[in-house]
Structure 1
Amino acid sequence: MVKKVGDEKQIKFFTILIVVLLMIFLAVAIVLKNKEFIYYDAILLPLVLLVYVLHRKLRLHLPILGLIWFVFLMHAAAGVMFFQGMRLYDMVFWIFKYDNIVHFFGIFTVAFVVYNLIHTRFSDRCNLGNLYLFLILSLMAMGFGTLIELVELIGVIWLDAGAGVGDYMNNAIDLFYNALGAIVGAGIITYYHNRKYFKKNILKD
């Protein structure tokens, strides 16, 4: 019980911290007149609050919430942080664009969120095998990735942000990294989901 109370205090603290940081990123985006990231930040802020309100019902414990918050900050920072005159969103790390990394890690995280919602159907006594678990997690996470692309499309149409978002090839590459993140996340979960360490630290049953 003490540990759960401690976790709840940490969750509340980090939720407030993330909201403050997102508000700062939103303010910077407004100053820069970056309509695309004003739009994204305006979506992320209520999402953070929604996740906090629903985190118990959705079984989202501190490790999973940490992944979600990190992804939100990665995305929000992309359009307003600059290093040596280059926007973070435009930076390339080896052969990977920053945006590729955000899409990969974002949908990787979604796979863990999905597992938290459905894991009771894949207990040790369940007849459903690892292949089904892997397929369900992968496809559901990919589906969420497609939803994100639709949200991005709305921004392109509404804000005329096509120049910032990119063309069809950029969209296809986003979907590729979404799929890759889903597959890697689902693979890790499928391999470890019956192990005590995983259940204790990720699910905290």
Structure 2
Amino acid sequence: MRFSTSEKAILGFTALYTAAFAVFFIRHFNIEFIAYVGVIIFIFTLLYATLDKTKIPASLLAAISLWGLLHMMGGSIQTADGVLYAWKIYPFFDGGGELYILKFDQAVHGYLYAVVALLFLHLLRNYFGNTHSQILVGFIAVMASLGVSAINEILEFVAVLTVPENGVGGYFNTALDIVFNFVGALIAVLGFYLFHKR
């Protein structure tokens, strides 16, 4: 399969930062994020192996690549609050402990599942066209995004059970993740229909 110049550039950029962070996490024996490197490799292998069928636009591929970079940075760069994922961006709400809004982790969650919702929306619209209710298609895209986010939470639970030193939080952290996942997916789908013609 032949890729466009933009597709090659995105793949090259992703491979470059993934390799760099893989070396970093291996040197620091960060098992959790070594596994996440594998996840990113799997995701991009799947995306590029099916591009001829899915016709995913370069803009979405770039958005997914950006998430991968943010995710790798989140588990490696140090801030005053710990790793970047723990960075407290602004105290919109501070209920003590994990009950804090807004953190870098929450922003990345919202962003990721906005992108995932747009990915599903693209696939669904390509499959159904305009022959089905766009409200239903948009609803399915949001729910599919939340389904993927549920799989992510299960993987984080597995990390809690198997990796002694992990960056996974407790109940409030998980609940806030789910809220930001939903809000991100909903805003993305609503925004798409507001700014794009059917």
Normalised to the residue count of structure 1, the TM-score between the two structures is 0.82
Q: Deviation at 1:84?
A: 6.3
Q: 2:14 is matched by which residue type in structure 1?
A: I
Matched, 1:140 2:136: no
C-alpha separation between the residues in 1 aligned to 2:6 and 2:129?
29
SS of 2:53's partner is coil
Match of 2:118 among 73, 97, 112: 112
- Supply the RMSD in Å over aligned alpha carbons: 2.1
SS of 1:103's partner is helix
C-alpha separation between the residues in 2 aligned to 1:84 and 1:170?
19
Q: 2:140 is matched by which residue type in structure 1?
A: I
Question: 5+ unaligned residues in a row in structure 1: which ranges?
Answer: 196-205
Matched, 1:89 2:95: no
User: Deviation digits for residues 99-119 of structure 1, max 9, x if unmatched?
Assistant: 101110000001111011110
Q: 1:178 is matched by which residue type in structure 2?
A: N
Corresponding position of 1:129: 133
Q: Deviation at 1:38?
A: 1.4
C-alpha separation between the residues in 2 aligned to 1:20 and 1:12?
12
Matched, 1:78 2:82: no
Corresponding position of 2:104: 98
Q: Deviation at 1:10?
A: 1.9
Q: Deviation at 1:49?
A: 2.3
Matched, 1:27 2:16: no
Q: Is the 8 A contact 2:145 2:185 kept in 1?
A: yes
Q: Larger relative CO (CA 8 A, sep 6+): 1 or 2? A: 1
Match of 1:187 among 171, 190, 198: 190
SS of 1:60's partner is coil
C-alpha separation between the residues in 2 aligned to 1:193 and 1:132?
17
Corresponding position of 1:199: none
Corresponding position of 2:32: 36
Q: 1:80 is matched by which residue type in structure 2?
A: S
Detail structure 1 runs of 4+ shifted over 3 Å in the superposition.
83-86
After TM superposition, list the pairs within 5 Å mapping 1:152-163 onto structure 2: 152-161=156-165, 163=166
Corresponding position of 1:58: 54
Do the aligned partners of residues 85 and 173 (structure 1) sit closer, same or farther apart at CA in structure 2, a change above 3 Å counting?
A: closer
Q: Deviation at 1:50?
A: 2.2
C-alpha separation between the residues in 1 aligned to 2:169 and 2:82?
17
SS of 1:94's partner is strand
Corresponding position of 1:165: 168
Corresponding position of 1:69: 65
The structure in which a higher percent of residues are helix is 1
C-alpha separation between the residues in 1 aligned to 2:129 and 2:197?
9
